[in-house]
Amino acid sequence: MKRKFVCVSCPVGCELEVELDDQGTLTVTGNRCPRGEAYAWEEITEPKRVLPTSVKVVGGELPLASVRTDRPIPKGLIPQVMELIKKLSVPAPVEVGQVLLKDLLGTGANLVATRAVARRACAPHEAL
């Protein structure tokens, strides 16, 4: 199996050429450091991604807050994590960096807010 992809372990973004032979030996070229080989192995065996999305906010100036996982999670778990996130609604205010869900499905990754949402000011008729 041959694949090409970009190493995202640092901003250099080396273009990797990866070949996995029938004996399970991985050959990686194009990497400028050993982290590229480790990234290639992970990408072949258990690809992970940081998940950016949004959650509902109750009583906020905006109805949604943007969020992301604070570390990559296995791609295969993303549908299950999205189901959890769809059911979530958090009260305003929401601060940048606020942890909204901890240890998503045992991955060790937390869901954190990447955008602040202030509490909505009460309209005069709501203050009563």
For residue 1, give both structure tokens: 């199996």
Q: Does 18 bind ligand SF4 (CB under 6 A)?
A: no
Based on the shown chain and the rule CB under 6 A, indicate whether residue 29 belongs to the binding site for ligand SF4. Answer: no
Binder to ligand SF4 among 29, 33, 49, 58 (CB under 6 A)?
33
Q: Pick the closer one to ligand SF4 by CB: 10 or 99.
A: 10
Burial 84-118 (b: 16+ CB within 10 A, else e): ebeeeebebbbeeebebbeebeeeebbbbbeebbe
Q: Based on CB atoms, which residue is closest to ligand SF4, 9 or 66? A: 9
| Contact set with ligand SF4 (CB under 6 A) | 7, 9-10, 12-14, 31-33, 35-36, 39
